Amino acid sequence: MRTPLPGGVRLAVAAALFAASALGLTAAPAAAAEHRPGPADVPRRYLALGDSLAAGYQTTPDGGRVVGRGYAQDIARVLGERAAARHRPFDFTDLGCPGETTGTMANGGCPWPHPWTDSQLAAAERFLREHRKDRVLVTIDIGANDVNRCASGGTIDLPCALQGIATAGRGLSDILGRLRAAAGPHTRIVGMNLYDPFLAAWLTGEQGRATAAMSLPLSHALNAAIGIADAAHGVPTADVARAFDTDELRPVPFNGAQVPLNVARIMQWTNMARGDIHANDAGYQVIADTFLAKL
């Protein structure tokens, strides 16, 4: 179901789509051959890479912050159980760093405390070279922080967002190229696209609905950039945007009112009710299940 947009929003959306097309974000190149494991495949090691989502960051109702309670931990639990059932060893390493951009992931400077001295990518390359002979699963999410800074105060800075999308696409492609070069023949890399937390603005009134409407084509452009980079390196993309019903606008009951399904999903599966864009436990499980469906 589609709803008409106000004139000003239509112009902004058209500009976003035109600029995204000019940046080459609308047509993916042919993907490299993808390894599709059989049911018996269980990785010896699981390496989680990326930003705060990979790190399992979320806030708590009392104002606290936790790390290590996210989709990577959910995936590791399932893979660990599968390995145990087959009497196989299994190790989990999470290098995800809250606040990481594609630039800091490659060059260093993650704002959260971390165990490496150079960059997350360099640490990942060392890990993959050290375990080249093992069957390794790598999951990666990165790029959101290249764009999130462009939305503040209930508005979206369109030029900033488009530049961030281009930066995220180029940065992710460079990162995947380096990971591929370091990986052994039994390493599998799986990426993910992103849900749109700014849909929550729909609940704040007319201006918020315009912001939510504008966020959708920008979300599409960012996810297209991620998909293109993944495909160029033969990396399957877990479709988290679809799992979160990002494009579903049909009204559903929520807190005594009718709201678009995509808005309801954001409110149910993230902590946007308290202004935190990160997934909650339920949302992280949805992300984990979306990854696991690719395995």
Long-range contacts of 59-64 (CB under 8 A, 24+ apart): 59/271, 59/274, 59/276, 59/278, 61/274
**Residue 27 belongs to some domain of the structure:** no
> Could you read off the pLDDT tens digit of each residue along the chain, which spans 295 residues?
333 334 444 444 444 444 444 444 444 444 444 444 444 579 999 999 999 999 999 999 999 999 999 999 999 999 999 999 999 999 999 999 999 999 999 999 999 999 899 999 999 999 999 999 999 999 999 999 999 989 877 788 999 999 999 999 999 999 999 999 999 999 999 999 999 999 999 999 999 999 999 999 999 999 999 999 999 999 999 999 999 999 999 999 999 999 999 999 999 999 999 999 999 999 999 999 999 999 9
**Residue 266 belongs to some domain of the structure:** yes
**Residue 10 belongs to some domain of the structure:** no
123 in Cβ contact with 175 (< 8 Å): no
201 in Cβ contact with 213 (< 8 Å): no
**Residue 48 belongs to some domain of the structure:** yes
CATH number at residue 139: 3.40.50.1110
**Dist. CA 80–CA 185, nearest whole Å:** 22
**Residue 67 belongs to some domain of the structure:** yes
Residue numbers of the domain that contains 200: 41-293
**Residue 16 belongs to some domain of the structure:** no
Instruction: Judge residue 27's burial from the number of C-beta atoms within 10 Å of its C-beta, 0-12 exposed, 13-18 middle, 19 or more buried.
Output: exposed
**Residue 162 belongs to some domain of the structure:** yes
Helix (H, G, I), strand (E, B) or coil at 138: strand
**Dist. CA 285–CA 56, nearest whole Å:** 11
**Residue 21 belongs to some domain of the structure:** no
pLDDT of residue 14: 43
Q: How many domains does the chain have?
A: 1
pLDDT of residue 4: 38
